[in-house]
Structure 1
Amino acid sequence: MSSFFTIPGAQKKRKRGPATEAPKKRFATSKSSSKPTSKPPSKSAPAPPKRAERDESISGSDSESEDAIELPDAPETGSESENEGETAAEKRLRLAERYLDNVRQEVDEAGFDAEDIDRDIIAERLQQDVAETKGRVYRKIASELAVDKASHTLFRCNTFTTTSVAVCAPYAYTVTKDRCLIKWKLQDLPANQFPQTTKRKPKKPPAPPRRQPTKVAMVKGNHKKEKDRDYKGHIADILCVAASQDGKFVVTGGADKRIIVWDAKSLKPQRVFYQHRDAVTGLAFRRGTNQLYSSSKDRTVKVWSLDELAYVETLFGHQDQVVDIDALAQERCISVGARDRTARLWKVVEETQLVFRGGSIDKKQKPNIDPRSLAHEGSMDRVAMIDDELFVTGSDNGSLALWSLQKKKPLFILPQAHGLEDPLLPTEASAERTPDPKVVPPPQPRWITALRTLPYSDLILSGSWDGYVRVWKLSDDKRRIEPAGILGSPSSDAAGLVPNGVHADDSGDEEMVNGANESKDAPWIVKGIVNDIALFERGDRGKDGLCVVAGVGKDMRLGMWKKIKGGKNGAVVFEVPRTKAPEKEELADD
């Protein structure tokens, strides 16, 4: 079968025109003649014998005639003469390589680097996906966040205490003790990133990230519908909320023992579950799916499938009310049981559980700390998973504990993460007119009321009622929790990366100071108790920073054991920028 690439050049030449035209082109392009003549008609006498020689060369050599006709340029003729013995397949390969070279040259002129795209988008993404599939920490971004440059804004909607918050970018969902579920649209970052500027310059121009979120929708339950079984709404305090990653569902649980599944777009109820026998205290979605885990004061953990809007199973084991729960990509979840002081990892498929027992304190007596202020762990209230091997818990003794699935005891305990309470006055501790100062109890640590991690990274956030959101990072050896900054504090405090009530001695070790707090005149950004924290990354893989939403209230989400004077009911949004690569390298060098 013949084709264009297999037809001899001589045949192609004969089809294109008469053979008498060949000598003319040969004389025009050939460099074999020693002296060109200015008058071809008068000095072209030897032309007939050359024509005869040319006819013989045409019949004897196809490649030479092809070069003479198709490639008139001298350099091309030389290069083609080197390829006289190539086959048809080799010629097609050579033409394909030439085409690729031309495409590559056009791409380079347009400023498009295919090699960088292959390296960054394909190779790096595959490595990250594999690491996330294995469930290990593979991202270290805590040191890349400019915590001291974070902007903030407080928003509220004339409601009671905000008990929980969930995010599904660009929306945030808050729930309150007066049975309200509110959907907010968070503001987008400006194109020029940090610091933000606006085109218009009014007298007091607010930075775009500091603008308050927009309220999109709101639904409120009715406590008078308690006896109405068909009422699809909450009739008591809403204690927790969770949003699915695909933006399809929003789920709330409350003190009325109900779990309500809402449509995320319209906030219309789709299904109400009544399987729990006591207040629902926690909700968590399995990452990448619509499988839901719930915890309750009835000491159980339940599994739900929202794709079928159905109940799956119940997990038993806790000896006290289950107050918090968290989950990642694998089909397992972890919960904490308040005063049974245990964290339990539930392996749903294997139908087994791992029990981790708390209750211990840091036995190292540190200087400048009243030993009576080192309170024992009475209740394990908060839990958050770092990866499939590590998790962190927060307790009422103010300690953050780092756990591993390989050990039943914590790897590391950070006591008094949010400092100590202000000491009471003698008149406040006793009813006597002139009380003895000895009756004053030692200052107690602030509880860990909120805890959140950025999954598969070294970033940890915690909240209490000290007026700030603390930022922590996992050490390189994954065996310690170290301070990384403070959200909502003056820049001088945040730059030092030292938490409230902590100072660094000459040896570099951090020591707690009994009753040491920031100045009472220092402005508090978070006015109230941080009852919950939610976060998401801005841009692709967090290249534009981090958005943190903290739910704030005058009292705690599960009770009124603590009430903050002057506290606010609402939420605070922090926009944390990402440091640039040159700044990161300079910090690493220092």
Structure 2
Amino acid sequence: MSFFIRKNVTKRKKPPVQVSKYNNIKKKKTQNHVDDEISSDSSESEHEKEPYSSESDGEKQLTAAEKKVQLAKKYLNEIEEEERRRLEDDDGEQLNKSVIKRLKDDVLEQKGKLKLKLADKLELPTSLFELRNRNHSKAITCLVVSPDDKFAYSASKDASIIQWNLQEKKVHKCLIHNRKKPQNNPTCHKYPVLSLAVSDNYLVSGDSSGLIIVRNPTTLEYIGSLKGHKDSVTGLTICNESNQLFSCSKDKSVKVWNLVDLCYIETLFGHQTEVTSMDMLQKDRVVTAGGMENVVRVWKIQEETQLIFNGIGGSIDTIRKIDSSHFITGGDSGAISLWGTLKKKPLCNVINAHGTHSNNGEPNWISAVGALKNSDLVVSGSCDGVVKFWRCTNNFKSLLPLCSVPVKGFVNELVFTNDGSKLIVAIGNEHRFGRWQNVTGVKNSLHVIKLDFIKN
């Protein structure tokens, strides 16, 4: 039986059309402008007016083309500025090479063909610094990094959200829920925050009550709320091209939202048990982990279909994208699985990747996995006191251990900075989903690990 599920998987609704007064105002202004031209020269004949109308249409088309050129120039200038800041010297030749390489990488990434072999060049990672704040009084559950790598955002079971300045190594802003005086900040979460997502324009958080809050990522100013999930929001991801938000929940559903209009678009059904994690593979293609259902689903939003991938057993609790056609998962079976979108079973499994528990002999749960985007370097975490680095080999058909970095506590999230220079680890004294086990003497914090790669 094919693992393509086609029609009637979801009843897709058309995205809402925003009706703006701007279009009407613009029409009126255009009409008034034409009327003014006519009234100012009453001797002008109807025959003389036709060429003017034709010229205006040509100017509009030319303006649209010019806008595309201006956007391309602006994008090129931004890349040049970023590469100039990255390079220590202002060598024009080196700058041109860096810009050309960046443009080629962008094209390959859009096509899903960018593969960076960095794992072999990785030097022994070292712990750089630790970020800790008393407002995270309970276990840190989730973590994201801003697109410019300036800020990291972490959330906790105590409903707090902290914005960290990675350059200054300190708290920039903090949002907390005061249980004694909840009216002081009604826009804050009142229940444990289990998921975060960030883009250039939005910071989105979801809690155990099913509430999703949208904020400005720089100022943390409240923008709005999204309600619809009936249980904990366990995963969030944003599509930058369409400004759509995807959310998954313990209520077994995946929902699609419009962040511009702050409205609901549709619900994707298929999972038979709670959905535990999700990530964006590419535009309009999302991958979700099905928990105890022991399946992974890839949702093709435009085609209204889904692909079903079968795990090796246990609950699949965490999932992360490697590139547009590969991803990695982990769960309570203690195994790390490497997947490709062209095969419905894992390409590779590492059994007991973090060993077994000393008390009961059961495998240590894989509580977090991460991947340096479009490369062969992946990481995993558990409660065994280490973060392990792995190399994808043999065309993503095997995983080889590279090294490990000691940390104490549950590793609840692993996130690489976008430039690949750091790995940020979210540490908690218990698993992000429950309190089945508690590691004593652990301080809830973020560990920033420095990554150095051998240069050719």
Normalising TM by the smaller chain, what interval?
0.7 to 0.9
Secondary structure in 2 matching 1:130: helix
One of 433, 447, 453 as aligned partner of 1:572: 447
- CA-to-partner distance for each residue in 1:448-486, whole Å, 9 max, x for gaps? 101111221112111111112111121142211111221
- Alpha-carbon distance between aligned partners in 2 of 1:224 and 1:299, rounded to the nearest angstrom: 33
One of 380, 388, 393 as aligned partner of 2:316: 380
When normalised by structure 1's length, the TM-score is 0.59
When normalised by structure 2's length, the TM-score is 0.75
Superposition map of 1:178-577 within 5 A: 178-187=158-167, 213-222=169-178, 231-244=186-199, 246=200, 248-287=201-240, 290-358=243-311, 360=312, 377-422=313-358, 424=359, 443-488=361-406, 526-538=407-419, 542=420, 546-577=421-452
- Alpha-carbon distance between aligned partners in 1 of 2:404 and 2:296, rounded to the nearest angstrom: 27
Q: CA deviation at 1:288?
A: 5.3
Q: CA deviation at 1:149?
A: 4.0
- Alpha-carbon distance between aligned partners in 1 of 2:151 and 2:274, rounded to the nearest angstrom: 31
Change (3 A) 1:231 1:112: closer
The answer to whether the 8 A contact 2:366-2:380 is kept is yes
RMSD: 2.3
Instruction: Report which of the two has the higher share of strand.
Output: 2
- Alpha-carbon distance between aligned partners in 1 of 2:404 and 2:208, rounded to the nearest angstrom: 33
Q: CA deviation at 1:287?
A: 4.9
One of 134, 137, 143 as aligned partner of 2:120: 143
5+ long unaligned stretches in structure 1: 1-110, 189-212, 361-376, 425-440, 489-525, 582-590
Change (3 A) 1:273 1:152: same
- Alpha-carbon distance between aligned partners in 2 of 1:157 and 1:225, rounded to the nearest angstrom: 19
Secondary structure in 2 matching 1:398: coil
Change (3 A) 1:332 1:232: same
The answer to whether the 8 A contact 1:324-1:382 is kept is yes
Identity %: 36
The answer to whether the 8 A contact 1:225-1:235 is kept is no
- Alpha-carbon distance between aligned partners in 2 of 1:477 and 1:145, rounded to the nearest angstrom: 19
| Higher-RCO chain (CA-CA 8 Å, sequence separation at least 6) | 2
- Alpha-carbon distance between aligned partners in 2 of 1:258 and 1:127, rounded to the nearest angstrom: 41
Change (3 A) 1:149 1:286: same
Superposition map of 1:51-66 within 5 A: none
The answer to whether the 8 A contact 2:322-2:373 is kept is yes
One of 171, 177, 184 as aligned partner of 2:157: 177
Larger deviation: 157-166 or 173-182? Answer: 157-166
Change (3 A) 1:112 1:161: closer
The answer to whether the 8 A contact 1:287-1:328 is kept is no
- Alpha-carbon distance between aligned partners in 1 of 2:333 and 2:90, rounded to the nearest angstrom: 56
One-letter amino acid of the counterpart of residue 532, structure 1: E
5+ long unaligned stretches in structure 2: 1-88
One of 89, 93, 108 as aligned partner of 1:131: 108
Larger Rg: 1
What is the aligned length?
364
Q: CA deviation at 1:550?
A: 1.1
- Alpha-carbon distance between aligned partners in 1 of 2:333 and 2:294, rounded to the nearest angstrom: 12
One-letter amino acid of the counterpart of residue 427, structure 2: V
- CA-to-partner distance for each residue in 1:249-301, whole Å, 9 max, x for gaps? 21110011100011122222211111111110111122555322111011011
- Alpha-carbon distance between aligned partners in 1 of 2:308 and 2:160, rounded to the nearest angstrom: 36
- Alpha-carbon distance between aligned partners in 2 of 1:129 and 1:319, rounded to the nearest angstrom: 37
One-letter amino acid of the counterpart of residue 375, structure 2: S
One-letter amino acid of the counterpart of residue 547, structure 1: K
One of 161, 178, 183 as aligned partner of 2:139: 161
Q: CA deviation at 1:157?
A: 2.5
Q: CA deviation at 1:417?
A: 1.1
The answer to whether the 8 A contact 2:393-2:399 is kept is yes
The answer to whether the 8 A contact 2:281-2:325 is kept is no
One-letter amino acid of the counterpart of residue 331, structure 2: S
- Alpha-carbon distance between aligned partners in 1 of 2:296 and 2:281, rounded to the nearest angstrom: 16
- Alpha-carbon distance between aligned partners in 1 of 2:178 and 2:230, rounded to the nearest angstrom: 20
- Alpha-carbon distance between aligned partners in 1 of 2:427 and 2:159, rounded to the nearest angstrom: 16
